[in-house]
Every structure is written in structure tokens, then in C-alpha cells.
Structure 1
Amino acid sequence: MGQTLAVGTDEVHERIVTGVAALEGADPMELPPLFDAVDPDALAAIFATTESGDRRSGHIGFTYANHQVRVEFDETEEPVVTID
């Protein structure tokens, strides 16, 4: 069973960590560092507005703490984080 997080915190990396912690029933500080799975700065850069002011669209996926994480984003909405 997966969990989809559309809102909750402002930062995508925070939504990933808190989402996995919720699925695990654990404190987020008990999880491995996110940077073991993905560079949080690079993750934030993917969602940053372009120099022309446009937002990017697409998706990325990776494994974090034995969970499959997918982040989807488009030009108009906040990124949606899905954790399986």
C-alpha cells in the first residue's frame, strides 16, 4: 500500500522523509539520511523555476529506506510524492 503526499511541508525532501517515517511508524530521525538515496539539493533544483520563469514537468523515482519513491511535477502544480 502506498501513500501519496500532495502537501504537508514546503520542501520535497521533507515530504519524502516524513512520508516514509509515517509508513514505517518511525521518527524521521531514525531513518537513514536521504542523501544516501538522492542528493536533496539536486532534487530541489529539479523543481526550481527555470530562468525564463517557467516550471518544469516530469517525474523521477528512486529507492529510499526500502521504499519506492516517485515524485511527479508539472508546470502548474506542486510536486506530488508517492511512496510504496
Structure 2
Amino acid sequence: MTEISRLEGVEPFELPPLEDCVDTESLDSLFGRPDAPFHEGEVKFRYAGYDVTVKYTGEFDIA
């Protein structure tokens, strides 16, 4: 996650793998395709000390 690497002042490869925190294939299945089963909603998870919210629109928030 480049935004978190920017906040932390490190290169993205220095962060833990995102797949250790969330199943990225499932995120793609839920929200990543035009025929995805969910047209609304969000998924929240914790990554590298941050709360991440991924919205069905593809937007995300980091807190």
C-alpha cells in the first residue's frame, strides 16, 4: 500500500505483505469486477498499524 509506505517513510516492499492481513483475491471477488456479487459495502481490516477501509467503489480510507 503506497499510501501507508508514504506515511511511514519507507518503500512499499519494506511493509509486511498485504496478503498477511486480508485475502486480496476475495476483495477482488467482492468489489473488483463489473459482475461482482456486491455493488455496495466495504471491508475493514488492520494493516501495518493502520485501520484500512476498502469501499465498493475502489476508494479506500486509512486511519
For Structure 1 versus Structure 2, the TM-score category normalised by the shorter chain is 0.7 to 0.9
Query: Could you give the per-residue CA deviations for residues 47-70 of structure 1, whole angstroms, max 9, x where no partner exists?
Result: 12227xx86111110001110000
2:8 alignment partner in structure 1: 24
TM-score normalised over the length of structure 1: 0.65
Return the structure number with greater relative CO, CA threshold 8 A, min gap 6: 1
Displacement over 3 Å in runs of 4+: none
- The alignment partner of 1:70 has SS state of strand
1:61 alignment partner in structure 2: 44
Q: Percent identity?
A: 35
Unmatched tracts of structure 1, length 5 or more: 1-16
Shift of 1:42: 0.9
Unmatched tracts of structure 2, length 5 or more: none
Give the AA of the match of 2:34: T
The total of aligned residue pairs comes to 62
TM-score normalised over the length of structure 2: 0.84
